Structure 1
């Protein structure tokens, strides 16, 4: 790619970013779009919607940027929880890394790369027509002493990244403990999930659970709740809600409108009311104990009198048969994923096998759009495939758009389809909570984009017709040394398209805005209901994207330092935009207390080792064998550092220590509200399908339970601009 093609891509994406920023700054102040851009504030206590048109409301203002930038970590913790704090610290970590790397790369390595003549002499007078390869390490002459600067830079960035990773791991561990000590008693802290419950003939699941835990945990066992099959009830409840919305809508119509719109089911108002009454009676009958007696699943939530007792029961093997009385710590009540409780051990094991095979097939099939993208970036190959387009592709502007912007746009569209697929695969894997599903989907999507976006583009770009070379596994570092620098221009454009534009598009919330406009134009009910579902951040989509850009920065900082300023702009945008969205848009759906961090640490370690492998190959190709020898110990030392961190910090992310749990239990002994807490704990894990419905003008809603109230401890900051 030449410089002018990159500038074309930067210009297009910069214009889109400015447009999204300006439109967002205007629309967020309009009363009709508050549900799109500030739903958290509306849900908290509402906003006075002044419908008088003022000039200030029609002009873009940067006040929200200042508010988001000044938001402290303590304020973010109080409004959105520890997961959001950890998410922002991922961005801050990348900002620190690439600020340090940018100083080295832009002021030391980049001039060295441009001064080389291995590919061609750099001429600043015709810079727009220069190829971006002149800015990479490939342009440094073979055997040049200046390559020692790149070798020293690899050592410096490795030490700096490891220092930051250790500091962050230690800091987040301390924040987890502090967050736990500061929290009120939560139902999941006293509850475990038991699956694979054996039932003797003539007894029920409930009796088996009660007898087992009274015998083996007599001092700490409190009570239990058996889980039932409620899939049919779930669908019936949704149908009742749908019918009630139709009835409410018809009641709000005028007589003239109602005479013209009979309804999709051909039912009159009285018929609809009678059908709704029958459905409600049927629902209450199915929710009764007599109807559910034969729908028990061999799983149950078991409650304990102390956190320590629950932790002991969840960690110990309860039976001589490992597949019976399988225990684990329960998730938060609102985090429970109810549909998968009826799966058996064999079913869950088979699901994992099927998902592994499906993931491999998905990875292979995704090579098709990757090859398409690389063919667009390689115009000579495209002209061979489609000779009729040769005259069209010779136009200068067309070549710049096709090579600089179009490939990354197409790839981004295909990548957008992957996270929902990964979430679906994780949901049928046997996880019991939404947080576990998202953490599993996060790992799947992360490694998917690493292998399919990084390796597939790198190898298909430089060895488009030489795939057979990849069978030589011993020379993989040498292959990477040649192919990775050659794709520097593609990934710089990828950062601009998938980073800058995609992040600002999430700020603008294009899809939600279109849905809002569609409802206003096509629906009779133009006013949203008072109660609505608050949006939440999809960690399994956003965290892998940030970590992938981190991988690009670490691997390319000494190969093509020109990528670093584009990455810094992306992380600055992400820092402001995501903090703003946490304040105004995203509500916490669950709280894992920072359990996404081990994934972040492992990805950073992988990025460092990959950088070492590329450096080992590049110095070998550049005929500087002594530098290759000095690089060789780095991956070994990095993996030893990772093993130390795994032993030192990782256990703190799986379960709290006995010291921590006992201290917290002792504090509860003097709490006068604990007896009431234990009384209400029994109802915390009620299946939503078994909760009674409460209908009003805003629709049918589940009656709030103790779990809803106990988890409502996070309130948003009330600020609009």
Structure 2
């Protein structure tokens, strides 16, 4: 790829990103967009304010950048939980390591690459990007020691930073667990594959079993019922409650041009006017549905955390497929529909999902190969002769080769996260957070395979694979192919990185829906969107993919590093803004994304070293090759140390810590209160009666409480708004930090 084509892509993506960021800084100040750019609680609290017209409201301002920058990690932990903090720590780690890599590679490696061969450099804009890669260094060059030295600096720095991040995150995670209110999941064990008995029900079998073996510590249990119909009714009831809260008499009387966006308020009005005895009968019918059939699954609650951990870890039967136990997820995190899956089917489902995922990855060879054909104008002109005249225009050829391939690939890749979420659901995850984590891993493998490996070999995939006579040839072929694809990787960082951040902060889907509701459906007081959880299954793989590309290209093509640094700095600001304003924490994995990040970083380092070993072999530098081998061994040993030292603390909680927490609760007299919470924490249908029978009374009570709370919060936020921003508009929502610090 020519440098001018790459600069065209830089210009297009920079213009899009700057335009959207400026537009966001204006749109977020408009009172009509509160429910788009801020969470439900802040939007409802701020909607009651009267914002005077002001010209400053329509001028871009960097106030959101300042707020995001000043937000501390303690605020992130309080608002988004451990997963949000780990996500931010991944970004901080990436900024630190690539700052080091950029300094060493841009000032030492890049000049060696550029002047690696004896040639006359003419106009730099007409140069190809391969001139800036290691491919431009002549064989047996004495300057290859710079690449080996840079590889050592990057590897040692990455391992050191990883070690300190592990220690910091482990301490924070432990403090977060011990400092949080008592969690029902710490006292509860999920029991699956309860044996069937003709003499007694599943519930009786569970009670008899745990009373026999855990009599001193057993507290209670809750059976899981087949809930497909009931769960749908619960979801509909929650939606009805939200609509009731946001629909006023004025809105219901106005005509609607698009009923699909406005809903049918008359139906809700009919439901609310039903007599109490009718609604009571609805609740009773649902209760009867709930007890239709029990599953061989139960939530068993214990009196202490330590007893629950012991029951979860021990083998309860000679047959490992019976009485299978594990620690229960949090009540709000339970994926009730998957608990009905028989335990014996899980291994079959996992194999089927694995086969389907691999097949989906290979199906994606078609669009990826098409994308790579766009980078080769000669092949494209040969396949489509009628386009030859168009490709003679420089700007069009630069757009086609420098911008279009990455855009098309990104559009195809949008299908991956929802597909992997479906696969993870079929796989049988028992929690929403577990399903999201499983989808995150699948999306990560999928994107690395398609964006890196397939693109490197996609010139002629089958031809490249047939050339491999043995595994030893893999580093050699990767070393030959990567410098030729560095232009695509750089444009991908621009398009999928810079542009995606601006799209993320703009929230175009919710913004468009808000506009349609206001100007077509004529709804003035538009209720805020439902709770949005952070999309870890898409954003974590994107971060790790860019880190993967950064490590691979740092020594071979260091020109990518400045653009990666810009991306990570923008990501640090954008995602912190989204965590404190847009996304709400409904459930979390407890920081389980950090081990995924660690494994990906180690794999990136090892693969970088293997490819460098192949490059040094091609360039006939035995000294550099000899020094690279100990680096690979040292990286693997460091990974094994971290696996033994840090990983167990992310998978389990120490018995010493659990015992101390139990003793503190007993001394503080909180155990009785905890036992009362456990009696209803995992009751599958405890909210149906409230949702369908008492929806009006509950809404009225919440409205009265919400008015009092929002008036106090609005007064506090309004004062902070005047101190921070003179616009007199919606920047007040950023001050969620105020109540937290108190």
TM value normalised by structure 2:
0.89
1:3-402 matches, within 5 Å, as 3-39=3-39, 42=42, 45-46=45-46, 48-117=48-117, 120-123=119-122, 126-238=123-235, 280=279, 283-288=282-287, 290-402=288-400
Shift of 1:116: 1.6
Shift of 1:171: 1.5
What is the aligned partner in structure 1 of residue 607 from structure 2?
610
What is the aligned partner in structure 1 of residue 494 from structure 2?
496
Shift of 1:680: 2.2
| Alpha-carbon distance between aligned partners in 1 of 2:86 and 2:581, rounded to the nearest angstrom | 18
Shift of 1:41: 5.1
8 A Cα contact 2:256 2:520, kept in partner: no
| Alpha-carbon distance between aligned partners in 1 of 2:111 and 2:278, rounded to the nearest angstrom | 75
Q: Does 1:674 align with 2:686?
A: no
| Alpha-carbon distance between aligned partners in 2 of 1:256 and 1:564, rounded to the nearest angstrom | 56
What is the aligned partner in structure 2 of residue 417 from structure 1?
415
What is the aligned partner in structure 1 of residue 627 from structure 2?
630
- CA deviation map 1:154-185 (0-9, x unaligned): 11111111111111112211111111121121
Gap change, CA 1:299 and 1:107, over 3 Å in 2: same
- CA deviation map 1:5-36 (0-9, x unaligned): 11110101111111111111001010000111
Tell me which of 527, 532, 536 is aligned to 1:535.
Answer: 532
8 A Cα contact 2:256 2:522, kept in partner: no
| Alpha-carbon distance between aligned partners in 2 of 1:218 and 1:640, rounded to the nearest angstrom | 46
8 A Cα contact 1:192 1:329, kept in partner: yes
- Across the aligned residues of Structure 1 and Structure 2, the Cα RMSD in angstroms comes to 3.0
| Alpha-carbon distance between aligned partners in 2 of 1:547 and 1:386, rounded to the nearest angstrom | 37
What is the aligned partner in structure 2 of residue 712 from structure 1?
none
| Alpha-carbon distance between aligned partners in 2 of 1:546 and 1:293, rounded to the nearest angstrom | 46
Shift of 1:239: 5.1
Shift of 1:388: 1.2
SS in 1 for 2:523: coil
What is the aligned partner in structure 1 of residue 709 from structure 2?
none
Gap change, CA 1:611 and 1:392, over 3 Å in 2: same
- CA deviation map 1:69-128 (0-9, x unaligned): 12111222222212111110000000111000000111111111111227x5433xx111
Which deviates more, 605-614 or 177-186?
A: 177-186
What is the aligned partner in structure 2 of residue 435 from structure 1?
433
| Alpha-carbon distance between aligned partners in 2 of 1:278 and 1:399, rounded to the nearest angstrom | 72
| Alpha-carbon distance between aligned partners in 2 of 1:703 and 1:640, rounded to the nearest angstrom | 60
8 A Cα contact 1:114 1:122, kept in partner: no
Shift of 1:519: 1.7
Gap change, CA 1:122 and 1:427, over 3 Å in 2: same
Shift of 1:448: 0.8
| Alpha-carbon distance between aligned partners in 1 of 2:70 and 2:473, rounded to the nearest angstrom | 50
| Alpha-carbon distance between aligned partners in 2 of 1:296 and 1:96, rounded to the nearest angstrom | 53
Which deviates more, 406-415 or 519-528?
A: 519-528
Shift of 1:40: 5.1
What is the aligned partner in structure 2 of residue 711 from structure 1?
none
8 A Cα contact 2:25 2:62, kept in partner: yes
Count of residue correspondences: 705
SS in 1 for 2:221: strand
Shift of 1:240: 5.8
| Alpha-carbon distance between aligned partners in 2 of 1:224 and 1:236, rounded to the nearest angstrom | 24
Gap change, CA 1:399 and 1:321, over 3 Å in 2: same
Unmatched 5+ stretches in structure 1: 705-714
Unmatched 5+ stretches in structure 2: 703-712, 718-731, 735-742
8 A Cα contact 2:193 2:342, kept in partner: yes
SS in 1 for 2:427: coil
Gap change, CA 1:23 and 1:191, over 3 Å in 2: same
| Alpha-carbon distance between aligned partners in 1 of 2:178 and 2:609, rounded to the nearest angstrom | 41
8 A Cα contact 1:138 1:485, kept in partner: yes
Shift of 1:700: 9.0
8 A Cα contact 1:462 1:486, kept in partner: no
Gap change, CA 1:685 and 1:473, over 3 Å in 2: same
8 A Cα contact 2:478 2:611, kept in partner: yes
8 A Cα contact 2:237 2:691, kept in partner: no
Shift of 1:629: 2.1
Greater fraction of residues in helix: 2
8 A Cα contact 1:41 1:47, kept in partner: no
| Alpha-carbon distance between aligned partners in 2 of 1:270 and 1:573, rounded to the nearest angstrom | 47
